[in-house]
Structure 1
Amino acid sequence: MEDKRCKVCEEILPDSGSSFFVACKNCGTINHVGSKAGPLLSLMCATSALILYVPANLLPFMSLEVYGNKNTATIWEGIVTLSQGGSWGIAIVVFLASILIPFAKLIILFYLGLSAKSQGQQKLRTRLYNIVEVIGRWSMLDIFLLAVLVAVMKMGPWAHAEPGAGAWIFALVVIFTMISSAAFDPTTIWKNTYDKKS
């Protein structure tokens, strides 16, 4: 079995045991090394995120109080309001970052976790995994936008904004999605093929 090396300094990594991550003794970089529990953990986290995705989009994402009038809105209501106000660009970004991309990523992770030990369609599953890796950097965009909006709206006694239940649940969706993505070991896609050939 080939030794796993650090992604930064290429030092041979110590045995990770059952851990998904191991620190390099030479440079201290945290390396993802995967484990036998990876596909199962990835599938469980993707399933949890999919379940939480529904209330995250149905419950109020933010409440805004201006001059004593309090309004709450879900993510979708916020997108509709932005588009009706003529801010189509922002509405599209929020739709992509908050609804479409997270859902697509969760469906892909769920499929990858479910089919991790199956044979066939390795190229398709590898492409799907690469898509997840590319769009992963956008996972926290909507939470970041909310934080910026809340910071901007803290304008003293006449305006106040705070995250709603939907925002907190969506943060959990993001966390479970990140764990699912990190736990999935892409080598499992091709492992059965190599084992069959050897």
Structure 2
Amino acid sequence: MSAAAITAMQQGLQSCEGCGLLSRPEPGEHEGRCPRCDEKLEFRKADSFQRTWAFLIAAAVCYIPANVLPVLTTTTAAGADSDTIMQGVVLLWSPTGWPLSIIVLVASIMIPSAKILALGYLLITTQRGSVANNEQRIRMYRMVEFIGRWSMVDVFVDTFTAALIQLQPLMSVEPGPGLIFFAAVVVFTMLAVESFDPRLIWDSVSSQEADSKEVTYA
């Protein structure tokens, strides 16, 4: 049990987020740089909770106009027609276009909201010092981090569509204000993931084990 309670930070060891090397700072230095990739080493990310909450709240605020405002405006001889993300999902739904409709629904509505909820859950449980389901929470964080790499796909698709479909004066497509807010949601959630330090999840376990030892020895 004593070995399980000892963490790398308690041993003065630092894990590099760039290459994963476990090393110890130079004598006399509290934190240093990775000897392999020269990345700055930190025992814990500074102000991780505060910065993650700030980015997450900003993402949640931008999520509303991203779904309410139009993301694309199509101009034809019959006039201009603006569509929100959900309207685009409905328009794409057809016997042949339903796979694309589902992709847009999942990538543009379900995944951003799931990322916001997942990060909020991680923040709340970690700040409360929860020690339950730590393995599942780490897996959740890694999944959110992995999905974040593909979050800009929908923005790129809309941008390319607006750039390619320019048949003036017959037809043209322009990005709407909702696309800007959607891109802001993606960026803020990515920054929130990067700001969150998953090592904080395990600090509660170490603190609880240390407290139990003090009670036992007392």
Shorter chain as denominator, the TM-score bin is: 0.7 to 0.9
Task: From the superposition, tell whether residues 166 and 191 of structure 1 become closer, same or farther in structure 2 (CA, over 3 Å).
Answer: same
Identify the range of structure 1 (71-80 vs 130-139) with the bigger mean alpha-carbon deviation.
130-139
CA distance in 2, matches of 1:32, 1:178: 20
SS in structure 1 at match of 2:174: strand
Partner residue, 1:131: 143
CA distance in 1, matches of 2:93, 2:204: 48
| Aligned residue identity for 2:190 | M
Identify the range of structure 1 (33-42 vs 82-91) with the bigger mean alpha-carbon deviation.
33-42
Is 1:67 the counterpart of 2:77 in the alignment? yes
- Alignment: residue pair count: 194
CA distance in 2, matches of 1:174, 1:86: 29
SS in structure 1 at match of 2:81: strand
| Aligned residue identity for 1:7 | G
Structure 1 residue 127 displacement after superposition:
2.4
CA distance in 1, matches of 2:172, 2:42: 41
Structure 1 residue 145 displacement after superposition:
0.9
Q: Pick the aligned partner of 1:180 from 192, 195, 215.
A: 192
CA distance in 2, matches of 1:182, 1:109: 11
Q: Pick the aligned partner of 1:35 from 41, 45, 64.
A: 45
Contact 2:77 2:170 in 1 (8 A): yes
Q: Pick the aligned partner of 1:109 from 102, 113, 119.
A: 119
Contact 1:65 1:160 in 2 (8 A): yes
Partner residue, 1:80: 90
CA distance in 2, matches of 1:149, 1:97: 17
Contact 2:14 2:43 in 1 (8 A): no
Structure 1 residue 115 displacement after superposition:
2.1
Aligned-residue CA RMSD (Å): 2.9
| Aligned residue identity for 2:51 | L
CA distance in 2, matches of 1:16, 1:92: 50
Partner residue, 1:169: 181
Partner residue, 2:214: none
Partner residue, 2:213: none
CA distance in 2, matches of 1:26, 1:182: 22
Partner residue, 1:5: 16
Gaps in structure 2 of 5+ consecutive residues:
1-11, 211-218
Contact 1:52 1:169 in 2 (8 A): yes
| Aligned residue identity for 1:5 | C
Contact 1:79 1:94 in 2 (8 A): yes
Contact 1:6 1:24 in 2 (8 A): no
Identify the range of structure 1 (109-118 vs 166-175) with the bigger mean alpha-carbon deviation.
109-118
Is 1:90 the counterpart of 2:100 in the alignment? yes
Identity %: 30
CA distance in 2, matches of 1:5, 1:163: 40
| Aligned residue identity for 1:128 | M
Contact 2:18 2:37 in 1 (8 A): no
Structure 1 residue 101 displacement after superposition:
0.8
Q: Pick the aligned partner of 1:148 from 125, 147, 160.
A: 160
